[in-house]
Amino acid sequence: MSHESGDKRPLNSMADGDSSVPESLNVELLTMAREGKLTGIRRTRLDLVQDWLDKGLSAEETCKRLSAYNRDVIMAVLEAHAEEYEWLRECTFLEFGSGGREEQVIGSDQDNGLLMDIDPDPDELDDCTQSIVIALDGAGLTLCEGDVMVSNEEWRGDFDTWLARLTNWLSNPVEKGSWQSGLILDFQAVFGSKDEVLHLRDRLWEYVRTKPIAISMLIQELTDYRLPLSFFGAFITETDGNWQGCLNIKNSVLAHLTNSTRILALKYNLAPHNTCDRIRILAEGGHVSRKHGERLLAAWEYLQRKRLEIGLSCDAEGIEPHNYVNPAALDVEEKGRLKVSIQAVEKLVRLVQAGSGL
pTM summary value: 0.88
Amino acid 72: pLDDT:
94
Q: Answer with the residue of higher pLDDT: 296 or 231.
A: 296
At residue 246 the predicted structure's pLDDT band, cuts being 50, 70 and 90, is: very high
Asked whether residue 101 falls in the same domain as residue 183, the answer is yes
Residue 5 belongs to a domain: no
Is 302 within the bounds of a domain? yes
β partners of residue 128: none
**Same domain membership, residue 47 and residue 154:** yes
Which DSSP state fits 250? Answer: I
For residue 311, how far is the Cα from the chain centroid?
16
The answer as to whether 217 is a domain residue is: no
Q: Please check whether residue 177 lies inside any domain of the structure.
A: yes
The Cα 253–Cα 299 span in angstroms is 9
pLDDT at 7: 40
At 14, the pLDDT band (50, 70, 90 cuts) reads: very low
Among the three residues 182, 210, 238, which one is the final residue of a domain in this structure?
210
Instruction: Tell me, yes or no, whether 235 and 319 share the same domain.
Output: yes
Residue that is last in its domain, among 210, 232, 253: 210
Q: Number of C-alpha atoms within 13 angstroms, CB side, residue 59? A: 21
| Structural domain includes residue 301 | yes
Q: Which of 160, 175, 210 is the last residue of a domain?
A: 210
Instruction: Render 113-176 in DSSP notation, one character per residue.
Output: EEEESS---HHHHHHHHHHHHHHHHHTT-PPPTT--STTSGGGEE-HHHHHHHHHHHHH-TTT-
My answer on whether 340 and 301 are in the same domain is yes
Q: Are residues 86 and 228 in the same domain?
A: no
> What share of residues in the chain are helix, strand, coil (percent, to 5)?
55, 5, 35
In a domain, 258, yes or no: yes
Spatial CB neighbours of 191, under 8 Å, sequence gap ≥ 6: 74, 75, 78, 79, 91, 92, 93
pLDDT tens string 150-179? 999 999 999 999 999 998 888 876 665 645
Classify 247 as helix, strand or coil: strand
| Amino acid letter, 161 | T
Q: Are strands 112-116 and 156-157 parallel, antiparallel or unpaired?
A: parallel
Residue 270 belongs to domain spanning = 222-353
Determine the Cα–Cα distance for residues 200 and 89; give it in Å rounded to an integer: 19
How far, in whole angstroms, is CA 106 from its chain's centroid?
11
- What are the tens digits of pLDDT across the range 71-116? 999 999 999 999 999 999 999 999 999 999 999 999 999 999 999 9
For residue 316, CA distances in Å to 67, 310, 320 come to: 22, 10, 10
Beta pairing class for 156-157 and 91-96: unpaired
Q: What DSSP state is assigned to residue 235?
A: B
- On whether both 170 and 48 belong to a single domain, the answer is yes
For the chain, the maximum distance between any two Cα atoms, rounded to a whole number of angstroms, is 67
Q: For residue 50, which of 284, 315, 277 has the smallest C-alpha distance?
A: 315
CB 305 within 8 A of CB 59: yes
Domain-embedded: residue 294: yes
For residues 192 and 234, membership in a common domain is answered with no
Residues 119 and 68 in one domain: yes
Q: How far apart are alpha carbons 167 and 288 in whole angstroms?
A: 28
What is the model's pLDDT at position 15? Answer: 34
Is 13 a residue whose pLDDT tops 50? no
**Which pLDDT belongs to residue 16?**
36
Count: domains in the chain: 2
Question: The CATH number of the domain where 84 resides is what?
Answer: 3.30.460.10
DSSP 2-15: -TTT-PPPPGGGTT
